[in-house]
Structure 1
């Protein structure tokens, strides 16, 4: 594994003729070595959250694909997957909640998931459209002290990666809030409006640690 390259995304977005310039990550091949670690702005001790990202992959129908991983030493605290059957899911230290939605593909998709511990309400948004609500892990708390990984599924604190579960494609604009955002705000983020940035993970300011052959490019939203 090549040494980690630390990348700071500090105020990378600029408005030019109505467009927004932003960094994006390209994972070109299936490997067990390429990944990016995101450093949260605050401890991820969460009883509610909204997690959003823009993603595209051509692995549809071939195998399960990890989209986001947050793991402490002993638990998969929050993992987001594209399942083998095409459903999208997320796991909070246990069995998943699954959503039957249009499959991810080569066309860029804006994906958000929301969850609230008090009510147990969980939902998913694709390109601003909300799924049905499901009750999941009522009373649970996501624990702090872990690591956020893009591109791999860590079966230990930071390791035991499996290339058959790795992410291949493009992912960017990953933001996380410690509250459930209103539907209208999520729809505004999808549309490219300058909504409030994530207070747990902010793609414009977060530190990214690049490991292996992950390409960092610049594009316009």
Structure 2
């Protein structure tokens, strides 16, 4: 049986059983070659956003880890990191905003990042719980024309990868909106409730282009 046909049949059987099938990306080892490119449904010309994902990693406290990377030809427009000291952070074309939160681990964590240019308000959500707000990059706009990848930190448009910054673990359910979602919508998402899918990235329909040693599996949500 071909792998894609097998995944499709598994997804159908889960749907018939009443569970929600979801694609999961498994990055087994640190490399400078394995990544997944996500093809957006609209240009990332953003003055606000909500970015959510489900993530797990056992690289606790060993090194920094890239969780999400969007780069144009000139800048890292939006990068989300697990820092060396365990803090979570994101960067918009320059210095970042960092949050001291419980460290990511082997248990799947639902992570969301929100930001609004008008107010500058930035926050994180971990498993439905919101962090304090911080003021960050008020008046900034995220520029379109770049590429989004999972698994690597590109220091050029799509290259110059560093194995010691690569992601190792599991990522799934990556969705992005061009607005800041209400707290209760994010909390419902964590709880598995159906919400309006992302209009920038919708994990159920967004095209994924895998490169290198990345396994794509189907599991129940």
TM-score, normalised to structure 1, is 0.93
Q: Which residue of 1 aligns with 2:182?
A: 182
Q: Which residue of 2 aligns with 1:135?
A: 135
What is the CA deviation profile of residues 18-67 of structure 1, one whole-angstrom value per residue up to 9, with x for unaligned ones?
42111100000000000000000000000000000000000010000000
Q: Which residue of 2 aligns with 1:218?
A: 218
Q: Secondary structure at the match of 1:149?
A: strand
Return the alpha-carbon distance in structure 1 between the equivalents of residues 13 and 111 of structure 2: 20
CA 164–188 in structure 1, closer or farther in 2 if over 3 Å, else same: same
Q: Secondary structure at the match of 1:164?
A: helix
What is the CA deviation profile of residues 160-215 of structure 1, one whole-angstrom value per residue up to 9, with x for unaligned ones?
00000000000010000000000000001101111000000000000000000100
Q: Which residue of 1 aligns with 2:3?
A: none
What is the CA deviation profile of residues 81-126 of structure 1, one whole-angstrom value per residue up to 9, with x for unaligned ones?
0000000000000100000000000000000000000000000000
Higher share in helix: 2
Q: Which residue of 1 aligns with 2:157?
A: 157
Return the alpha-carbon distance in structure 1 between the equivalents of residues 154 and 161 of structure 2: 5
Q: Which residue of 2 aligns with 1:19?
A: 19
Return the alpha-carbon distance in structure 1 between the equivalents of residues 144 and 192 of structure 2: 30
Return the alpha-carbon distance in structure 1 between the equivalents of residues 13 and 146 of structure 2: 28
Which consecutive unaligned segments of at least 5 residues does structure 1 have?
A: 1-10
CA 189–137 in structure 1, closer or farther in 2 if over 3 Å, else same: same
* TM-fit CA distance, 1:12: 8.1
- The answer to whether the 8 Å contact 2:14/2:220 transfers is no
Q: Secondary structure at the match of 1:19?
A: coil
1:62-211 → structure 2 map (5 Å cutoff): 62-211=62-211
Q: Which residue of 1 aligns with 2:52?
A: 52
The size of the alignment, in residue pairs, is 212
Return the alpha-carbon distance in structure 2 between the equivalents of residues 217 and 98 of structure 1: 32
Q: CA RMSD for the aligned pairs? A: 1.5
Return the alpha-carbon distance in structure 1 between the equivalents of residues 18 and 101 of structure 2: 31
Return the alpha-carbon distance in structure 1 between the equivalents of residues 184 and 104 of structure 2: 23
Which consecutive unaligned segments of at least 5 residues does structure 2 have?
A: 1-10
